[in-house]
Amino acid sequence: MSGGEASLPLAFRLARRELRGGLSGFRVFIACLALGVAAIAGVGSVSTALTRGLAEGGQDILGGDVALRLIHREATQEEFSYIADGHDVTVSAEMRAMARAAEEEEGRGQGQTLVELKAVDDAYPLYGAMELVPDMPLADALAVRDGRPGVVVEPNLLSRLGVEV
């Protein structure tokens, strides 16, 4: 008799003894098993949904087909020519900064806040369109007026700082 044949009757005997002791422990085991299966199924579903969402909406998220980033320097003319060869390209620069109202008046704004600045070229965005309030083309919003370049600002920032554009 091999070890596998002898262990099967032993397993049944142990299981029968556990069941004689009551089903309360068995219910806990079944609950844990069900919870584990549900967790694994949930992770699989979320993973599938994220993968599908990125595949379908990746262009919306990136604003194009591919996003390339350089940190602390601009692309050289040779690098830019290689990237732009036969493709539509837009260039932008981003940085974080502190913003505050030039003059703090009592009851206006909350001092200062961290902001993210983004400078874009005329081709921005390559995919989709900017939706501004009031409704206007991005080029009009960023046009130079009275010697100052235009700006697009999140409304919450304006109210937080107590300023107007």
CA distance 152 to 45: 38
Classify burial at 21, counting beta carbons within 10 Å of its beta carbon; exposed 0-12, middle 13-18, buried 19 or more.
exposed
SS3 117: strand
CA distance 37 to 116: 43
**Residue 25: pLDDT band by 50, 70, 90 thresholds?**
low
pTM over 0.75: no
**Residue 34: pLDDT band by 50, 70, 90 thresholds?**
very high
Smallest CA-to-CA distance from 155 within 165, 140, 145, 142 is with 165
SS3 24: helix
pLDDT, tens only, 112-143: 889 999 988 888 887 777 888 889 998 899 99
CA distance 88 to 79: 15
Domain ranges, ordered by start, for the chain: 3-62, 90-161
